[in-house]
Structure 1
Amino acid sequence: MTDTPAAPAATPAACDGTHLRVLSTTDLAGIDVSLADVVATVEGAYRTLHAGRSDNPRKLTVKPQDGHSVSYAMLGRDGSRDVVAIKTSYKHGLDKGREEQHYYTALTLYDDSTGLPVAMMDCSRIGSLRTPAVSALLARECAAPGARSALVVGTGTQGRLALPFLLTTLPELDRLMLFGTHPEGIGSVRERLRAHFPDRDVDIVTDLRAAASQADVIVATAGAHTPAAIEADWLGPGTLSVLVGHGLSPSTLHHADRVIATSEAQMHVTGTDMADADGKFPAVDAELAPVLAGEAAGRGSGTERVFAYNSGLVVTDIALGHRFAQLAIGQGLGTEVPLWQ
């Protein structure tokens, strides 16, 4: 793999505006992109957004009254790539166990300089990479100086790459802990960690309160049915708690000394389980984009307990999706589908 993406293969079908390149899960699975490359791509998307060159409107949400499913639609524009895209996400079976759930997500990209479609792709791998990359950026910017220990809660899609990405941005971490309830997931976390960092291993913890009190950085990625619910009074001075899925109780947000969010508006949409009894949230002290730009602080002191809410922004999906699309098309992957003839 080179640092410069391969140029898209130009074929008449791909350039006439009547066809769409479809990139499947299999097409994207074999594309090699380093964790550092993913972090840099995601960080660049945030910086471009903060500079006012990209657009990331609030996501639309549809959820039935019984809560058995949830769907999102996210439209955005990446100003550095001149790409417009829409992402859709649908999960069914929220009232069931993980093995009975169904999840589908897709990203469709358009070149805003030519007006032609780039690709439509399965977005599951994009999401599995960009979300832990954002957590790692939050950790880099918001962890206390000298942070050495990290705890990941959950072993699902987002938990499996959380530790490798944390080590990418915080290589000085020397104690890694994992709380999980699924043996297969625990095995996958270990496998992914050793694939990227062969000399590292993770301690499997069962006393969540004790582990949380010893962790400098906590990343909660568990599913909705997790028994984990870390309370604020379990945390030591200076702890950074990053919420991706579940595993943190609302007290970690409401009793935090500082609150950081990727998007305050999206936290109010997707983080309703963290609201207080009146449905309210504490004010967000800063969003990640200005923190990365150096215009806001990730923390005020080494002893502040910081809560960070990681809600995906579609501009990061666009940036990483476009990176994958360029590499895939350059390798001749995907299928040209005649949609608009």
Structure 2
Amino acid sequence: MTMPDASTTAAAEPIPRADRHLRILSTGDLAGIDISLADVVSTVEDAYRTLHAGESDNPRKLTVKPRDGHSVAYAMLGRDGSRDVVAVKTSYKHGLDKGREEQHYYTTLTLYDDVTGLPVAMMDCSRIGSLRTPAVSALLARECAAPGARSALVIGTGTQGRLALPFLLTTLPGLDRLMLFGTHPEGVTAVRERLRAHFPDRDVEIVTDAGAAASEADIIVATAGGHTPAAVGADRLKPGSLSILVGHGLAPSALHRADRVIATSEAQMKVTGIDMADADGELRAVDAEFPPVITGDTAGRRTATERIFAYNSGLVVTDIALGHRFAQLALEQGLGTEVALWR
């Protein structure tokens, strides 16, 4: 299936640079940029297609973590071949042993124009990630959900959970039952507000038993944090279901007993998915990666009844594509601060 790609032409146009100044785009700058969900999905899909065509590079991420596990940091380098952009993304989270309100999270994306050799922008990457990840889940659902899927359950109400349902409705408008499991009242409120902002006539059903809800859902998107009480196992997943893991909320059996496993990147899954290992510390082998699925070269789903597990780990090429799109829109609107960093 292919969605209209209204933004590909615009997104591929180079951003003109006249000097060696670096444009800094803050959280506030990016928050003021209006971009449709369809634009985001189209941009992310194009990044996957370009990667599968062999025109982009997405090396495995580097990770550092102290022995006590109180923090984690990632570094990701990539190149977008359709936009001729090279970028470096960094991600650092502190306080993993504490509650959400005590944690600190910083992520940045720095873009360079590989035609002119000049910097494009350095930006806070938090909004990029909050859009890119649910867009990928929506694309996974579009390609891997059973035909006629009607119901979806989102587990978690944090950053990644709040736009999960609007993006799912963007790629699968036929969904008519939307369910949510969350333990933070403010998060539940935020999910409902985000849904109504994009789909005013839709509402979400709040559930208190994640396992029972999962047994009735065609699509499950697990986005919760590490402290969630939800751990939906394979025995709660009905035939034909699609389970997408973004954060936490699914038990390892959902992976190991799946009929088919799809990963955005098998290498990335081996780095960030170790909490899904079995008793021997092993992860289930991946049957297919997502880039060839999205291009139609590999089947996402083979039968209507197989239970599919999909692992959604971020690929830096999708951050680059979406970051470039935001930089382009910011430049058009005169947003950001120019810094003579190399002078």
Normalising TM by the smaller chain, what interval? over 0.9
Aligned length: 336
Structure 2 residue matching 1:253: 3-state secondary structure: helix
Give the letter for the 2:189 counterpart: G
In 2, Cα distance between equivalents of 1:194 and 1:222: 21
In 1, Cα distance between equivalents of 2:140 and 2:302: 14
Let me know the Cα RMSD of the aligned residues. 1.3
Q: What is the deviation of 1:15?
A: 2.1
Q: 1:9 to 1:271 in 2, by over 3 A?
A: closer
Q: What is the deviation of 1:5?
A: 4.7
Q: What is the deviation of 1:60?
A: 0.1
1:51 aligned residue: 53
The answer for unaligned runs of 5 or more in structure 1 is none
Give the letter for the 1:16 counterpart: D
Q: Which of 213, 216, 219 in structure 2 is aligned with 1:214? A: 216
Provide, for residues 113-138 of structure 1, a one-character-per-residue CA deviation record: whole Å limited to 9, x for no partner.
00000000000000000000000000
Give the letter for the 1:293 counterpart: T
- Trace 1:72-87 onto structure 2 (pairs within 5 A): 72-87=74-89
Q: What is the deviation of 1:75?
A: 0.1
Q: 1:326 to 1:199 in 2, by over 3 A?
A: same
Give the letter for the 1:58 counterpart: R
Provide, for residues 242-297 of structure 1, a one-character-per-residue CA deviation record: whole Å limited to 9, x for no partner.
00000000000000000000000000000000011222111111111000111111
Question: Identity, % of aligned pairs?
Answer: 82
Q: What is the deviation of 1:300?
A: 1.2
1:225 aligned residue: 227
1:285 aligned residue: 287
Please give the TM-score of this superposition, normalised by the length of structure 2: 0.96
Give the letter for the 2:45 counterpart: E
Give the letter for the 2:289 counterpart: E
Provide, for residues 131-154 of structure 1, a one-character-per-residue CA deviation record: whole Å limited to 9, x for no partner.
000000000000001100000000
Please give the TM-score of this superposition, normalised by the length of structure 1: 0.97
Q: Is the 8 A contact 1:8 1:329 kept in 2?
A: no
1:88 aligned residue: 90
Provide, for residues 201-227 of structure 1, a one-character-per-residue CA deviation record: whole Å limited to 9, x for no partner.
000000222101000000000001111
2:250 aligned residue: 248
**Structure 1 position 270 matched with structure 2 position 269:** no
In 1, Cα distance between equivalents of 2:111 and 2:315: 15
Q: What is the deviation of 1:30?
A: 1.0
In 1, Cα distance between equivalents of 2:107 and 2:10: 24
Provide, for residues 76-97 of structure 1, a one-character-per-residue CA deviation record: whole Å limited to 9, x for no partner.
0000000000000000000000
In 1, Cα distance between equivalents of 2:240 and 2:15: 50
Q: 1:142 to 1:260 in 2, by over 3 A?
A: same
**Structure 1 position 15 matched with structure 2 position 13:** no
2:117 aligned residue: 115
